[in-house]
Amino acid sequence: MNVNERWIAVLAILVATGCGARETPGRGADSATARTTTTTSSSGDVALPAMASRSAAWLPPGAGNGDWLMPSRDYAGTRYSPLNEIDTTNVAQLQLAWTFDDGESHYGHEMTPLVANNTMYIVSPFPNRAFALDLTKPGAPVKWEYEPNPSPIAIGKACCDAVNRGAALYDGKLIYNLLDDHTVAVDAKTGKELWRTKLTNVEDGTTMTMAPLVVDGKVYVGNSGGEMGVAGWLAALDVNTGKELWRAYSVGPDSLVRIGADFKPFYSWMRGKDLGATTWPANAWKHGAGAVWGWVTYDPDLKQIYYGTSNTGPWNAAQRPGLNLWTSSVFARKADNGMATWAYAMTPHNEWDYDAVNENILVDIPIKGQTRKVMVQFNRNGYAYTIDRTTGEVLVAKPFGHENWSSGIDPTTAMPIVNADKHTVPPGRWVRDICPADVGVKDFEPSAFSPRTGLFYVSVQNICMDYRGREVSYIAGTPYWGADMTRHVGPGGNYGEFIAFDAATGTKVWGIPEPFLTYSGAMATAGDLAFYGTVDGWFRAVNARTGKVLWSRKLGSGIISAPMAFTAPDGHEYIAIAAGVGGGAMTTASQPGFPARGSSYYVFTLGQNIPATAPSSRGGEGGAGKKQGGKP
């Protein structure tokens, strides 16, 4: 049976059983525990109890167990919900509670909905409308809508769809970026704009798509535009006024990069003065990208932020001999003044568009018998890096999917060992079957981590490319790209896979192959579930320990957003996800069966919690007896 046939068989089983094969209840801890909506260390089955009971400093202020105030829920970036009402024994009874549509189906939906104070907050792709939905009322009607009216010029400057990756709730404000390079803060109660800060000119080719991180009164925002010849940066704004406090460039002399006496990279090849300028041909760094369009995480103990930088510009590496620091790198910086403490270039002299912007998840895990404070990044280049987040030392670097551009990471220097036949320099000739393709073994779609299992949950891409470098000139406002390519599916013929990964050893624990790309974020819950979506629109819940699919629903479009869990005013656990394919997933749009775009949000809970579904409901709110147009 080939992969497609196997999947048809699996889908047939799913259809036959209505909502996926329900797993037999597992050990007592799974099935017998009372289902409260809070997590506790009640189960003896927790792999990392210290991680599970981390202090409140790892969460945005005021976040309860049933809240979700930032896209990754916590500052560590785990996307772990402590809710456990929905678990491996009952997830098969998940039903649709309500839906919402933001009306912006032209562009991909990469965000995570947020919930606080019985309100759900949603930010649409361009034109970046914000909606507050009142969870206390049936069907969660719109409480307010905010229209920022960004410049449409931005649409054509965004390389890869006019997306937005979400907002942050902090101190009664909803804070997010507009595609046209403004950051806005909106009163979370009223939807009134509190401040709007212009970060740069959209006409130069810069856009903003990332979700801000807000910590200790500072809003951290970065730019997109790695294909437009920008110089990447991360800026810190005052949360009360929007005033810019500092900006740290990813390229250029140390003064621009905010490198000073505190900067101590672990590896000697990254030590020296002004390397962000001197590892380039003269002035090439000015258009060298290193955009900051991914995720920022924060360690409240070390008081450091962590983030990665984008691809090197232009893609045609022949035009920029040198290591091209600090593109395709990660930075650790002091959260207060932005001064760098260490950096590490994952793909120096990047010839393949392997950005390093993916999430850096901050966990404390035992490695060779000793608990280490690490950050884990599943990089586009196909390596999962487990790095000491205090020193920048690479502890583990192993492939987590199919790659063939390198034969490993040198254990002494932590530099990749590039396979000679995958160099794209000199340009002007086709280099065949480079794996992964530009979009990577994983793109921005964020992974999750469960302290209960000690595992990471990752959407993996199995995609390769034929690539030809092209000479390109810098012309402001136009792409500074310099490549031509076609993409194809990798070995096995499945574009996607959802895996569980042990970052302490660099090993895959289990995997679920998917015929279509997996380009959604992941979520792990205290119910020992992991959730993910596929580009053909399947939203699935799996046993986080075994990888067995317990529940699946086909949504209206492909899923490239990330799921979240919250407690509704009824006291029950709900799961939300958006379905609106777009972004980098469109690289596989020619695959037969690829869905149309969409803009709907789906909210699920156990069927017994839904009045219209529960057998005991008789003419209650939202039931069949409701008068059309009347108030409930």
Partner 1 sequence: MTLTERRSRIAALVATGGMVIALGACHQDKQVVRGGSQGDVTLPQQQARVANATDTTGLPAEGALARVAIGDLAGVGNNTLDADVANPYANDRASVEVGHEYFINMNCASCHGYDLKGGMGPDLTDTYWRYGGSPADIYKSIFEGRPQGMPAWGRALPPAVIWKLVSYIQSKGGTYPGSLADRGRQGDLGDNTDTTSFSTLKGRNNVH
Choice between 137 and 470, CB closer to partner 1: 470
What is the rounded distance in angstroms from the CA atom of residue 494 to the CA atom of residue 463? Answer: 9
- Is 258 an interacting residue with respect to partner 1 (CB under 8 A)? yes
In 3D space, the residue among 449, 416, 290, 448 whose CA is nearest the CA of residue 356 turns out to be 290
What is the rounded distance in angstroms from the CA atom of residue 356 to the CA atom of residue 354? Answer: 7
> Quick one: which of 286, 488, 548, 626 contacts partner 1 (CB under 8 A)?
286
- Is 477 an interacting residue with respect to partner 1 (CB under 8 A)? yes
Kindly report the number of other CB atoms within 10 A of residue 564's CB atom. 27
Site for partner 1, residues 484 to 513, rule: CB under 8 A: 484
> Quick one: which of 46, 123, 256, 550 contacts partner 1 (CB under 8 A)?
256
CB neighbour class for 246 (10 Å; exposed up to 12, middle 13-18, buried from 19): middle
Burial annotation 493-529 (CB, 10 A radius, 16+ → b, else e):
ebbbbbbbbbbbebebbbbbbbbbbbbbbbbbbbbbb
Site for partner 1, residues 411 to 470, rule: CB under 8 A: 470
Choice between 22 and 286, CB closer to partner 1: 286
Asked if residue 606 lies in contact with residue 570, where contact means CB atoms within 8 angstroms, the answer is no
The three-state DSSP-derived secondary structure of 195-221 is: EEEECCCHHHCCECCCCCEEECCEEEE
Residue appearing with tokens 């510009």: 313
> Quick one: which of 171, 193, 238, 244 contacts partner 1 (CB under 8 A)?
244
Q: Which among 251-259, 326-334, 385-393, 548-556 is the span making contact with partner 1, rule CB under 8 A? A: 251-259
Residue appearing with tokens 């930088």: 309
Q: Which among 140-148, 158-166, 362-370, 538-546 is the span making contact with partner 1, rule CB under 8 A? A: 158-166
Choice between 101 and 274, CB closer to partner 1: 274
Q: Is 227 a catalytic residue?
A: yes
> Quick one: which of 471, 569, 625, 632 contacts partner 1 (CB under 8 A)?
471
CB neighbour class for 21 (10 Å; exposed up to 12, middle 13-18, buried from 19): middle
Kindly report the number of other CB atoms within 10 A of residue 138's CB atom. 16
- Is 594 an interacting residue with respect to partner 1 (CB under 8 A)? no
> Quick one: which of 58, 449, 480, 538 contacts partner 1 (CB under 8 A)?
480
Choice between 169 and 332, CB closer to partner 1: 332
Candidates 87, 110, 180, 227; catalytic one:
227
In 3D space, the residue among 202, 209, 243 whose CA is nearest the CA of residue 223 turns out to be 209
Calculate the dihedral angle through the C-alpha atoms of 66, 70, 76, 82, rounding to the nearest 10 degrees.
10
- Is 101 an interacting residue with respect to partner 1 (CB under 8 A)? no
Q: How far is the CB of 459 from partner 1 (least distance, A)?
A: 24
Candidates 181, 353, 497, 514; catalytic one:
353
Q: Is 353 a catalytic residue?
A: yes
Residue appearing with tokens 């991680």: 51
Candidates 65, 177, 311, 462; catalytic one:
311
Structure tokens at 285: 């760094």
Choice between 199 and 526, CB closer to partner 1: 199
What is the rounded distance in angstroms from the CA atom of residue 228 to the CA atom of residue 214? Answer: 27
Q: Which among 1-9, 156-164, 413-421, 589-597 is the span making contact with partner 1, rule CB under 8 A? A: 156-164
Q: How far is the CB of 196 from partner 1 (least distance, A)?
A: 18
Q: How far is the CB of 243 from partner 1 (least distance, A)?
A: 12
Q: How many residues bind partner 1 (CB under 8 A)?
A: 41
Residue appearing with tokens 């997996």: 518
Choice between 192 and 198, CB closer to partner 1: 198
Choice between 69 and 235, CB closer to partner 1: 235
Whether a cis peptide bond, with omega within 30° of 0, leads into 426 is yes
- Is 152 an interacting residue with respect to partner 1 (CB under 8 A)? yes
Site for partner 1, residues 185 to 224, rule: CB under 8 A: 201, 204
Binding residues for partner 1, rule: CB under 8 A, are 152-160, 201, 204, 227, 231, 244, 246-249, 252, 255-256, 258, 283, 286-287, 319, 338, 470-482, 484
Residue numbers annotated as active site: 227, 311, 353
